Amino acid sequence: MTAGLTVARSGALTTVQDAGRPGHAHLGVPRSGALDAPAMRLANRLLGNDPDAAVLETTLTGCALRPDRDVTVVVGGAPCPVTVDGGPAAWGTPVRVPAGSVLDVGAATAGVRSYVAVAGGVAAEPILGSRSTDLLSGLGPAPLRDGDTVPVGSPRRPVPASAAAPWPGPPAELVLPVRLGPRADWFSPAALRTLTSAAYRVSPHSNRIGLRTEGPPLQRTSTGELPSEGMVLGAVQVPPDGRPVIFLHDHPTTGGYPVVAVVPEPALAAAAQATAGTPVRFTLA
């Protein structure tokens, strides 16, 4: 029989995430998926799971879970204290959690999002080929609430005997390479210089939809309005206040504000772990 995890503490925002559901933007369905995909894949690898098996993604305050059967877990991503029934447990390496014990994933001590992988993977019902929670469209399982039960699949292979690996730390400064366009011509040359030279900061209003920034506004040369057009992961959209917003995995698939540049996907994992106030610098790719 498969295991179930009862949510004893759901935390600020804990969702089920995997590699997401790419390929459905023409239907208005965002990509979704783990914001820090390398952390998700490393946690799964340490357990012998498929790299893109579904995990739990926590936000800032962690969560607490009680399995109804013995399970093995890895807590990775943002560093945080981990306990089992109040006793200290390892972060970043496999931990055995006996049936009925409480695994507590504490508040992040650095970074934003921790990942709880379970041997066998989270077995939520897939929708459009993914188990991911999509906060924008509402597809996938709802964010966890106290008392929920999370199903866990049966492990397909044993946990590797040497299950340890180095984990990257959260960024002290978020350096985002950008490729200008498709609407860079809506901005003055001075605005483009500002984008790639000014100091920005991560706004506390950031979320899974977009990383908002604080800093000097970018001045538009065009005062017209755009019809809605397709938006891609990593698009740097400039709303009326002039401060860039980097679209993350739950972003809308269309939008009417101009996109001055695009951040390549591999650079976005660091954005998932950048706390409010982290310096942001854009560089030409």
What are the tens digits of pLDDT across the range 218-232? 999 987 888 999 999
Indicate if the pLDDT at residue 1 is higher than 60.
Answer: no
Is 266 strand, coil or helix?
helix
CATH superfamily of domain region 174-284: Cyclophilin-like (2.40.100.10)
- If you ran DSSP here, which 8-state letter would residue 39 be given? H
pLDDT given at position 84 = 98
pLDDT given at position 184 = 96
Scanning the structure block, which residue is given the tokens 């001590």? 109
pTM: 0.96
**pLDDT tens-digit map of 20-42:** 999 999 889 999 999 999 999 99
Percent of the chain, pLDDT > 90? 90
Question: What's the pLDDT band for 125 if we cut at 50, 70, 90?
Answer: very high
pLDDT given at position 56 = 98
| Torsion over CA: 180, 280, 62, 146 (sign) | negative
Indicate if the pLDDT at residue 163 is higher than 80.
Answer: no
Mean residue pLDDT of the chain comes to 95
Mean pLDDT of 74-86: 98
26-30, 51-55, 125-129: lowest mean pLDDT where? 26-30
pLDDT given at position 129 = 95
Q: How many other CB atoms are found less than 10 A from the CB of residue 211? A: 26
DSSP tally for the chain: helices H, then strands E: 3, 20
What is d(CA 174, CA 200) in angstroms, rounded to the nearest whole number?
9
> Comparing C-alpha atoms, which of 130, 283, 83 is closest to residue 196?
283
Indicate if the pLDDT at residue 162 is higher than 80.
Answer: no
pLDDT given at position 242 = 96
The domain ranges of the chain are 3-152, 174-284
- Report residue 77 as tokens: 């991503």
Indicate if the pLDDT at residue 158 is higher than 90.
Answer: no
Mean pLDDT of 101-127: 98
